[in-house]
Structure 1
């Protein structure tokens, strides 16, 4: 069962992650039985409807007007205390009510008791329990997330366990499905040949496009650029990187968007902390955003925040109370009607007006991260030790092969997205930052690399950063391709930054021409910048950006290998220099972290494109937010798992995303790659099971080789 993250930190994952231990083809067949089975008995449908009703109430995160009582006792016991009053559930049947009242408090005992009462043979326990779980995989996945993948910055408020969930489902089965033991559970025997053929044909088509490009001759230059930009490996960075390099003497690199610093961020503008690192890692440091401004500006911001928060709290209190909404409509209905009119017909102009109004109340304030140990009145410790700072700096520079030829300006570009009326907005933020924007991570690493003591250490490791090199944090808005450069640099370089900003504006325009065309717009007849920005602020827009749709490969290589290639926004790009990695240790870190995340994203989109109802989000037109944690179709569906139909289709008939497994292209010698695969069981599983395709390009001969599922190599001719 794949975990399902809540909306606030939603990230892509392989919906068949629980089946990665078996070959890809076999997993498809089992998944058809587990997750695509529409032929379930009426009694189980009733159990699902009642389960959804109670799960919505238990996991509610602020949407419900009346909160479910007794949640502190856990899911099963809270439900048990209330189920006796649910006449729709037990139909006033005395035996059912008596059974509910007699249940013990221990869910483990209840599971065994219910299985016996249902008459399930002990040899069929596993199959029956799996059937109960996989018939609502979204809710089961959410519970798995809360149990096994808890967000350390936002742990569950109320206790949750799988046994609680199973106990509730089994008791419901006793009441609603007394003859469950007679139902024969069978695994799918449906032929998946056509599906496999569709995938392999798409993969071959993509290889036919990519291989000739990466065999082209390339130029290696040692000229120091005017500026260097380090972007996340995200596929949305690839076309912008090309555009930036075309506007001047610039070089771009790729690295995981959390910049190697696993942190929990205490945000200046947000009460809710966030874990800004891949979910594969546990955050190690608490970082506090510290405002950098005058006392007057700080107090004005504080007053503005209080005013806005008070209005928001007052509005929501009226909106969600029982009778107050009637008065709210009478008092503010006219104003909201005018607002809705302008926001619908003139979204860009309305957005600019609202933003200007808010900035007048609450000015924009620059912040810096608490790099060194800081203790506030809550006695929480913030900061990163000097030893760890040195380690993070060295790892970043060596893993990207960025150990010489430093420009005067090095921009570390985290990324986030901005869109309206989009419940899956976190999925468009940085996956390497746990579904959050990566600007603060860029600020942390930039501050580390500007530290004199860190540079002294790096010099001892033969990494000499010139004294006049400035590492500057920035954030890439992937919806509009705006790049915000944070004002954490000396005043004397302001003129240089203005010139660079001018070139970034050119790059934005160039990339937006391509972006507009990919969205079916005629770039020759519109103002592309305005058109793309309007998409980001239009609350009726179903495709504010393509997100990671189209992802097909991850290329692990130095920039000269891909610099003059148009990869169409389909490739994750991770910088890597095999010349400084004789033992493959740097490559090993890339293959076991960024590649795993890229594989999750790739398989999420692959399966969502094959069956958008079972593995995706369905149509945005009929989506509803439930409990502020997830998305349903209509008012009583399972939690939806991934990208909506509109996120992978250009229109009803034209697919934008092609279903392909991730092609991992590594610019290194076969022996080094084989050694790394041999050391890592998880990589062996992915290659041997056919979950990824792996290709190497020899740095000396430029020959292309494909690793087979038995780990042998075949030269591609």
Structure 2
């Protein structure tokens, strides 16, 4: 067996000086390949909806789910009970379910596909084969497991009728009851099934490969997992907890009071220096490993290589072995993978960590644990060859252990083993001879009678479900059994889940397509409004499903036209809010913007901005002081007595009167820190303007430095003194002349103090000439040139098909959410804006569109915006359904009447939308009326105890690309992403390609996030908010310590125990010709992969034929019969 560097000469265990750089690079390549199946886990402050199985999209959908289940331990389908509940509640129609079932049966070869309903004509036991297949789907007639009591005892554990029987079938059984009652009747039924299986059916030997499966450590089972499985130590859980402790301490972004020291050296080196002082592994018995930490190499590649050498990991399968470790904590490793990919992230640059460092630490501990356990419990070295040899020498014991680990201990073992059946002895213990003998005898009995018992158990459930009496069972034709058994075995659990999935999706598809029936019946291309009619106002909304309700209600008021576009409005940039140190990306995660935009006070707000800054600094100082006192070792005892009463009113207000308290809090905040009017640096600035911006920023830094270095008496220092200090710091010469008399009087500094201040300003606060030059170059790239502005505006307008007939007011409406005490708040904001609020993108777009120079360029390009058209920025609060307008000072006086009407109608539309949403939210008391509903949703937005401020994007199911002609007045019930598009104005398909490779992909990520969060809340979702714990401001853990939860919490996708979101893959409806769609798909491999592998489904609304066609595969279409899309029959 060849191992990694097995021939490497070493003078000591961790002497790896002979490793070459090429071998280190090769190892890094293995780690990179091992992490390919890991999806990014994004920082919680800018939550990005993503597909947790994104890296498996090259596989067919259901195959990817099964592979993810093997890698991450996640569920591969929602439970059968949940599927049946959807069926019983009418969300899955019986006719559709039967149709999908028959199609699947034909594809599996269970019946002919050439004749319609052929499975319904095939007879088994005098009944239709389709009845048995449907019964198998609804009641699961699987073979019993080897550990099932029915396989080893004379009778089932309980003789009772199944609880899922229909009233008619239960009554049929009860009609055959004799004096023995239900239990005696079921006993007779079982005996009939058992005798039928043993006497009437041909003999069949029982076999189950799982009973002879012998797990060995290797690519699919790490040494740590093997030790954990067979040596009863919970070692993997211990190591996971230890890794979480180190990762959470290193990755913390400002939450912890005491930070891990020297993090700038990188995760591996910090761990190596600190782990020597950590005594936790000493309590595990790993004294030798604790001593070895000081001997570890200086770089992580060598440590990882040394651990692999120590365990003699085979070279073949090394990548798979590392993948098992990388996916052990997919949340933490996914976050590390994402952060390491963000070279421009300040936390990533300052505190480096990558997967090689993480795996070096993890595998160091693994080799230590494996060596300790193997030497103390097995008496062999902790290497792969030694463990394989030990397994062969203890084969009977390992087979018994493996079976018990897979199926649990059969009940029949307990009678013979006593206490041993509940707690196995240590490996190699002599008592294993008795356990192995019982296991082998039990297997022999299964081989002798297991075949007939397995058939009898299945027949027993079939008879119950179909209402067969004992006499009817005995009269069954044995020749039909083999055909039925083969059919039931073919329709295994995974196939049945696929059928349920397809049936639910077919139901939702019919529901969506039925809304477009009016479009197929019209003969004109009109949108319903004459071309000459100028709308009262036009509104751009994000494609977000929550905007659909508001768009529908505002359009119902008449005279308005709305458009859907990705919420960044086609303008990607980095945005630095006012008085914030870091910038944020206002673009989809697929883009890397190069433009920067800053928020600055308007010119007439300079004085108020200065006062605002000073008050802001005072407030921050008080808050900082409070936290310092609170986090001190001694002062909290005094602090509670002194200030505890101060928290009484906020506590009572937030608990009992959250809405009123929020209004009071905002009023007080406005008094202390009044809002100031701001502008955005959209236009590219000149050099003089850039220098003025740098001067203002450096003034702010100097004021902070004076407070930190000189003292609080400098809080009111004059601007002229601040400027004098700035000039001194920027001077290239050595500071020796001193400040002016006036500055000295204000600062109260001695000559040495002045020199020290200048030195700190130049070094700690980076106020020096070199940094100023860099800032000047950076600021000169802030904003957009006129040509660039015209490009972005034109591209967005053409994308949504608006190039003429502009209204007097055009509202560009971003969106954001508002909630209190909600770590997932950014998940409710705009995904197209990188998980941030979309108002800054709206303001930038409006500034561009109102620019006369931009309009002149647009006119030359065929987009003429009238002189009286004014663009206005607004923000849709998706929690309260209120619209706030921004930059109203720029609205001309001539448009105030239009603005007033628009504001009034948007308020009405918001009230209607709020009422519609409130009726869907869980509530003890559903309010009646528009105002009451609005008050209810507002209370949710500011209630600290509210775990569900809104449903967010739950129930998203459809993505529609088309114009108003297609959409009409359809009510999508807040379930559809709506992207405006006019196929008549996109002859080459360029605009459609941009939509299908950008917004559509984001929509698919959102849909997949919800799907997989519902599928497995712990592995792919966000667990339950009740147990959430914010970890280092980067993510959420479940309780005190866990893997980072990558997805959505149960309160977003479930209503109590019932799913609220429906697990359907995204249906995409595109209003365009099939040839145009085919060109787009063929030119974009990622999009083609999504369609080929079934991650999304696509229907074309062909405007030429006014008909719908479903894409079966790229380039292959089938027509959709729209005449059958009436409301389907419901089966309750």
TM-score where L is the length of structure 1: 0.96
Contact 2:1024 2:1049 in 1 (8 A): yes
- Aligned partner of 2:649 in structure 1 is 338
Contact 1:154 1:274 in 2 (8 A): no
- Aligned partner of 2:1082 in structure 1 is 678
Contact 2:1081 2:1114 in 1 (8 A): no
CA distance, structure 1, for counterparts of residue 282 and residue 304 of structure 2? 19
Q: Which SS does the other structure have where 1:614 is aligned?
A: coil
CA distance, structure 1, for counterparts of residue 989 and residue 493 of structure 2? 41
Matched, 1:115 2:308: yes
Q: Which SS does the other structure have where 1:583 is aligned?
A: coil
Query: For residues 513 and 345 of structure 1, do their structure 2 counterparts lie closer, same or farther at Cα, with a shift above 3 Å needed?
Result: same
1:564-583 counterparts in 2 under 5 A?
564-583=969-988
- Residue 335 of structure 1: CA displacement? 1.6
1:269-308 counterparts in 2 under 5 A?
269-292=579-602, 293-308=604-619
- Residue 248 of structure 1: CA displacement? 3.3
Which deviates more, 414-423 or 363-372?
363-372
Alignment counterpart, residue 261 of structure 2, candidates 48, 56, 69: 69
Which deviates more, 397-406 or 379-388?
379-388
- Aligned partner of 1:240 in structure 2 is 550
Contact 2:597 2:682 in 1 (8 A): yes
Matched, 1:12 2:416: no
Matched, 1:546 2:951: yes
Deviations 1:559-615 (A, max 9, x none): 332140000111111111111111211111111111111111100000011111111
Which deviates more, 703-712 or 601-610?
703-712
Contact 1:153 1:274 in 2 (8 A): no
Alignment counterpart, residue 532 of structure 1, candidates 899, 914, 937: 937
Contact 1:150 1:156 in 2 (8 A): yes
1:13-32 counterparts in 2 under 5 A?
13-32=50-69
1:180-329 counterparts in 2 under 5 A?
181=384, 182=387, 191-217=493-519, 220=527, 221=529, 222=531, 223-292=533-602, 293-329=604-640
- Aligned partner of 2:250 in structure 1 is 58
Alignment counterpart, residue 390 of structure 1, candidates 787, 790, 801: 790
CA distance, structure 1, for counterparts of residue 264 and residue 1061 of structure 2? 44
Deviating 4+ runs (over 6 angstroms): none
Q: Which SS does the other structure have where 2:1054 is aligned?
A: coil
Deviations 1:659-713 (A, max 9, x none): 0111111000000000110111111110111111011101132211111135301
Which deviates more, 600-609 or 702-711?
702-711
CA distance, structure 2, for counterparts of residue 137 and residue 490 of structure 1? 54
CA distance, structure 1, for counterparts of residue 967 and residue 904 of structure 2? 25
CA distance, structure 2, for counterparts of residue 563 and residue 157 of structure 1? 53
Q: Which SS does the other structure have where 2:598 is aligned?
A: strand
- Residue 322 of structure 1: CA displacement? 2.7
CA distance, structure 1, for counterparts of residue 342 and residue 808 of structure 2? 41
- Aligned partner of 1:429 in structure 2 is 829
Contact 2:46 2:835 in 1 (8 A): yes
Contact 1:554 1:573 in 2 (8 A): yes
Deviations 1:96-132 (A, max 9, x none): 1232222111211222211121222111311221111
- Residue 326 of structure 1: CA displacement? 2.4
Query: For residues 457 and 318 of structure 1, do their structure 2 counterparts lie closer, same or farther at Cα, with a shift above 3 Å needed?
Result: same
Query: For residues 180 and 136 of structure 1, do their structure 2 counterparts lie closer, same or farther at Cα, with a shift above 3 Å needed?
Result: farther
Q: Which SS does the other structure have where 2:358 is aligned?
A: helix
Contact 1:546 1:647 in 2 (8 A): yes
Matched, 1:160 2:353: yes
CA distance, structure 2, for counterparts of residue 477 and residue 347 of structure 1? 18
- Residue 205 of structure 1: CA displacement? 1.6
CA distance, structure 2, for counterparts of residue 266 and residue 681 of structure 1? 35
Which deviates more, 558-567 or 584-593?
558-567
Q: Which SS does the other structure have where 1:518 is aligned?
A: coil
Contact 1:173 1:180 in 2 (8 A): no
Which deviates more, 255-264 or 33-42?
33-42
Contact 1:10 1:427 in 2 (8 A): yes
Deviations 1:489-546 (A, max 9, x none): 2244223212211111101110011011111342427811100000000010011011
Contact 1:215 1:702 in 2 (8 A): no
Contact 2:1110 2:1119 in 1 (8 A): yes
- Residue 309 of structure 1: CA displacement? 1.9
CA distance, structure 2, for counterparts of residue 131 and residue 485 of structure 1? 52
Deviations 1:597-653 (A, max 9, x none): 11111000000111111111101000100111110001110000111001111222x
CA distance, structure 2, for counterparts of residue 96 and residue 546 of structure 1? 50
- Aligned partner of 1:453 in structure 2 is 853
Alignment counterpart, residue 687 of structure 1, candidates 1068, 1091, 1101: 1091
Contact 2:838 2:875 in 1 (8 A): yes
Query: For residues 154 and 235 of structure 1, do their structure 2 counterparts lie closer, same or farther at Cα, with a shift above 3 Å needed?
Result: farther
Deviations 1:173-213 (A, max 9, x none): 1122334745999xx9x953344333322211211211111
Query: For residues 200 and 133 of structure 1, do their structure 2 counterparts lie closer, same or farther at Cα, with a shift above 3 Å needed?
Result: same
Which deviates more, 486-495 or 234-243?
486-495
CA distance, structure 2, for counterparts of residue 576 and residue 256 of structure 1? 12
Matched, 1:34 2:71: yes
- Aligned partner of 1:585 in structure 2 is 990
Extract unaligned runs of 5+ from structure 1: none
Deviations 1:76-95 (A, max 9, x none): 11111111222112447442
- Over aligned residue pairs, what C-alpha RMSD do you find? 2.1
Query: For residues 305 and 247 of structure 1, do their structure 2 counterparts lie closer, same or farther at Cα, with a shift above 3 Å needed?
Result: farther
Which deviates more, 78-87 or 678-687?
78-87
CA distance, structure 2, for counterparts of residue 180 and residue 372 of structure 1? 65
- Aligned partner of 2:434 in structure 1 is none
CA distance, structure 2, for counterparts of residue 17 and residue 151 of structure 1? 23
Contact 2:956 2:976 in 1 (8 A): yes
Contact 1:238 1:567 in 2 (8 A): yes
- Residue 301 of structure 1: CA displacement? 2.4
Q: Which SS does the other structure have where 1:3 is aligned?
A: coil
TM-score where L is the length of structure 2: 0.61
Contact 2:806 2:869 in 1 (8 A): yes
Deviations 1:332-382 (A, max 9, x none): 211213311121110000000000000111222232211222323143312
Query: For residues 298 and 94 of structure 1, do their structure 2 counterparts lie closer, same or farther at Cα, with a shift above 3 Å needed?
Result: closer
Q: Which SS does the other structure have where 1:301 is aligned?
A: helix
Which deviates more, 676-685 or 492-501?
492-501
Q: Which SS does the other structure have where 1:509 is aligned?
A: helix
- Residue 56 of structure 1: CA displacement? 0.5
CA distance, structure 2, for counterparts of residue 492 and residue 155 of structure 1? 51
CA distance, structure 2, for counterparts of residue 154 and residue 249 of structure 1? 50
CA distance, structure 2, for counterparts of residue 445 and residue 5 of structure 1? 27
Query: For residues 276 and 155 of structure 1, do their structure 2 counterparts lie closer, same or farther at Cα, with a shift above 3 Å needed?
Result: farther
Alignment counterpart, residue 684 of structure 2, candidates 373, 384, 402: 373
- Residue 156 of structure 1: CA displacement? 4.3
- Residue 13 of structure 1: CA displacement? 0.5
CA distance, structure 1, for counterparts of residue 314 and residue 582 of structure 2? 48
Counting matched residue pairs gives 714
Matched, 1:137 2:542: no
- Aligned partner of 2:871 in structure 1 is 471
Query: For residues 255 and 154 of structure 1, do their structure 2 counterparts lie closer, same or farther at Cα, with a shift above 3 Å needed?
Result: farther
- Residue 655 of structure 1: CA displacement? 1.4
Alignment counterpart, residue 348 of structure 1, candidates 634, 659, 662: 659
Query: For residues 684 and 622 of structure 1, do their structure 2 counterparts lie closer, same or farther at Cα, with a shift above 3 Å needed?
Result: same
Extract unaligned runs of 5+ from structure 2: 1-37, 76-220, 229-233, 372-381, 392-401, 407-491, 695-774, 1122-1132
Matched, 1:49 2:241: yes
